[in-house]
Amino acid sequence: MGKMDPANSRLYIINISHLVTMDADRSIVKDAWIEITDGWITAVGSGQDQEAELKGRECKVIDARQGIVLPGLINTHHHFYQNLARAYTPATNLPLLPWLTCITPLFRNLTAEDLLIATKVAMAELMLTGCTTTVDHHYLFPPSNSGFIDAQFAAAGEMGMRFHAGRGSMDTVSKIIPSWATETVDEIMNDCQRLYDRYHDFSRGSMTRLFLAPSALTCASPDLLKESARMASSLDLGLHIHCGETLEEDQYALDHLGSRQLPFLADCGWETERVWLAHGIHFDDAEIAHLGQRGMGIAHCPCSNMRLGSGICRVGDLQKAGAKVGLGVDGSASNDSSHMLNEARQALLLARVKYGAGAMSTMDALELATTGGASCLGRGDDLGSLEVGKCADLAIFPAEDLFSSGADNAVEALLLCFPRQVETLIINGRVRVRDGRITGLDLPELLASHQTIAGRIQE
């Protein structure tokens, strides 16, 4: 516990009723304060009379008003562009592959401007629900594409979010994926290299990183998988792909590749710690043991898995085996929301449906959304917990309101009661949400643009 040391460049968050640190002991500090210097947490302490200690000093102070502070939540799987087709009527009751066949043609004329707006809307939703770091797995590059991922990095800069952009890819035509939606391996790898040179920042505290992300084994050739693994290894980048989402994809792999998905990926160089797989539902015991031994990660996406009826991820077994497990809201056409705190609630509820009431605690679920996600993204050393030396990314939720009134345990109520929005959000030491509003964003104007684009796309 530190002592307050006021200085002009510093920001203090005071009057925190419960500081949920998510450190190794899962400590919760009551009556806490945090000192932030140049985007880093430089001291944490507790005690009464915090205002008195800072009175008359020139320093920036945010009064948490007895709110609960969580580490900024980390979203490990998403497809932002899909928020232009939320609750799309023809697809609302379909399983994954028919659903994908139904929505993909909508995006044939998607532009960089459309993706920029969709990205800002997705980020706004994530930020208001406690998320400070997000990935996007953008794999659709129609003929109209130009500067798609550049537009996403620009949106992240405007919104002030910590962003890991997945340069997604598809090079194999199928019943699901039309030829206009594919690129050649050379086109894909050249663009990956260009984006790496332009945006990837490997430093501690980085706001922008790139990872390589073929969409799935149903639409990526062995050549694409191998080239992606080779480049990721030589440039030290994350690798991401959908895997183990549905039984239909398992059957596809057996029929077309003559192998289950995981061994096939291993043969293509995808058996490393830099890999995290989206969904990871349909793995057998030996595959789960193998994932753990190799230190690979899983982006668990409970809402999407329920919405598409895909199945239930074996989160506890994966963790016991030593695999990293983070949380993802998945694309907004199969969730159909980007509410990050709600995703943690749904992870808790879904685990209990299959494994009983003791299967996942509130803290277990918050771990998925914080430290679990950080380790999937290779950010265990600077993100995921509120400790001295880590990035100042944090979310302040109201301690008590209509939806939690009467709660005994305020922290448990965050997930057991209706999932709420943040009052304040701080990313990299900067206040990005205050009084429940994103600073510097004209939300009605953004939504008007978004709705116009969605109307055009769904026509």
Residues that bind Zn ion (CB under 5 A): 278, 330
Q: Which is nearer to Zn ion, 136 or 171 (CB)?
A: 136
CB 242 within 8 A of CB 219: no
For residue 358, give both structure tokens.
């003791």
Write the single-letter amino acid at 197: D
Helix 222-235 to helix 185-199 angle (10° resolution) is 20
C-alpha torsion angle, residues 186, 103, 131, 25 (rounded to 10):
-80
Q: Which is nearer to Zn ion, 241 or 369 (CB)?
A: 241
Token pair 């998988």 in the structure block, residue: 225
Task: Tell me the closest approach of the beta carbon of residue 78 to Zn ion, in angstroms.
Answer: 8
Task: Tell me the closest approach of the beta carbon of residue 278 to Zn ion, in angstroms.
Answer: 5
Task: Tell me the closest approach of the beta carbon of residue 324 to Zn ion, in angstroms.
Answer: 18
Task: Tell me the closest approach of the beta carbon of residue 417 to Zn ion, in angstroms.
Answer: 28
Which residues have CB under 8 Å from 206's CB, separation 6+?
A: 162
CB 4 within 8 A of CB 43: yes
Write the single-letter amino acid at 329: V
Tell which residue, 416, 426, 302, 421, has the closest CA to residue 354: 302
For residue 316, give both structure tokens.
């506890």
Write the single-letter amino acid at 372: G
CB 82 within 8 A of CB 332: yes
CB neighbour class for 235 (10 Å; exposed up to 12, middle 13-18, buried from 19): middle
Task: Tell me the closest approach of the beta carbon of residue 135 to Zn ion, in angstroms.
Answer: 11
Task: Tell me the closest approach of the beta carbon of residue 80 to Zn ion, in angstroms.
Answer: 11
Task: Tell me the closest approach of the beta carbon of residue 330 to Zn ion, in angstroms.
Answer: 5
Q: Which is nearer to Zn ion, 79 or 420 (CB)?
A: 79
Task: Tell me the closest approach of the beta carbon of residue 304 to Zn ion, in angstroms.
Answer: 7
Task: Tell me the closest approach of the beta carbon of residue 390 to Zn ion, in angstroms.
Answer: 28
> What is the CB neighbour count within 10 angstroms for residue 406?
7
Give, in order, the Cα–Cα distances in Å from 337 to each of 66, 81, 432: 28, 12, 20
> Which DSSP letter does residue 400 get?
S
Task: Tell me the closest approach of the beta carbon of residue 4 to Zn ion, in angstroms.
Answer: 44
Q: Which is nearer to Zn ion, 35 or 330 (CB)?
A: 330
Tell which residue, 27, 34, 32, has the closest CA to residue 16: 32
Q: Which is nearer to Zn ion, 278 or 441 (CB)?
A: 278
Q: Which is nearer to Zn ion, 350 or 425 (CB)?
A: 350
For residue 157, give both structure tokens.
């800069």
Q: Which is nearer to Zn ion, 64 or 298 (CB)?
A: 298
Task: Tell me the closest approach of the beta carbon of residue 168 to Zn ion, in angstroms.
Answer: 10
Q: Which is nearer to Zn ion, 241 or 422 (CB)?
A: 241
| Chain centre to alpha carbon of residue 38 | 24
For residue 415, give both structure tokens.
């997930």
Write the single-letter amino acid at 125: E
DSSP annotation string for 150-204: HHHHHHHHHHT-EEEEEEEE-----SSS-GGG---HHHHHHHHHHHHHHH---ST
Q: Given phi > 0 = left and psi -120 to 50 = alpha, else beta, which region is 402?
A: alpha
Q: Which is nearer to Zn ion, 42 or 134 (CB)?
A: 134
Q: Which is nearer to Zn ion, 209 or 307 (CB)?
A: 307
Q: Which is nearer to Zn ion, 29 or 102 (CB)?
A: 102
